[in-house]
């Protein structure tokens, strides 16, 4: 198999392509969201400033009451459940990125094929031989032209 076909069948490549496409999509949305949320943030800060102080005072007593009820024996099981759930969600997200990347890669492959077909359909100039190309490159590199007369 060729390198290109190996890459095309690699899930990690698709996931990276999908992540890049997702990032570009979200970055393009940023300016619009910034302008939309600027006014909302100012209003929200003023509205909730007083409510936050009241809520903090109310819940301080409840937090200390819950701290006494937590058993240290339950923490390892909760940690395992959380890690398992996180791992499952991560795999689902990677699969989504891979599917998105597959679409991006195939879309780009189609565009490259179309460009290649257009280039092949265009009239070609007479190709130079390898020797002529090499001589031209050498003369450019040395700054000399080839002379056929003997000195």
Q: What single string gives the DSSP state of each residue in 30-46?
A: HHHHHHHHHHHHHHHHH
Q: Which residue has the tokens 């800060």?
A: 45
Is position 90 within any domain?
A: yes
**Residue 97 belongs to domain spanning:** 3-121
Lookup: tokens for 119: 């280039």
Is position 106 within any domain?
A: yes
> Total structural domains in the chain?
1
**What local confidence, expressed as pLDDT, does residue 112 receive?**
81
Is position 137 within any domain?
A: no
* Regions of the chain short of the pLDDT cut 50: 137-142, 144-151
- What is the tens place of the pLDDT at every residue in 80-121? 999 999 999 999 999 999 998 888 888 888 888 888 888 887
């Amino acid at each position: 198999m060729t390198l290109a076909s190996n890459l095309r069948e690699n899930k990690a490549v698709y996931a990276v392509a999908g992540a890049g496409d997702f990032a570009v999509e979200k970055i393009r949305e940023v300016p619009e969201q910034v302008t939309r949320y600027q006014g909302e943030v100012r209003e929200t800060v003023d509205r909730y400033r007083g409510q936050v102080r009241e809520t903090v005072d109310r819940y301080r007593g409840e937090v200390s009451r819950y701290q006494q009820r937590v058993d240290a024996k339950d923490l390892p099981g909760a940690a395992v459940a959380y890690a398992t759930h996180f791992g499952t969600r991560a795999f689902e997200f990677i699969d989504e990125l891979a599917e998105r990347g597959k679409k991006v890669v195939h879309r780009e492959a189609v565009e490259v094929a179309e460009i290649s077909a257009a280039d092949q359909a265009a009239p070609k100039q007479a190709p130079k031989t390898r020797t002529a190309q090499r001589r031209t490159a050498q003369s450019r590199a040395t700054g000399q032209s080839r002379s056929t007369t003997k000195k």
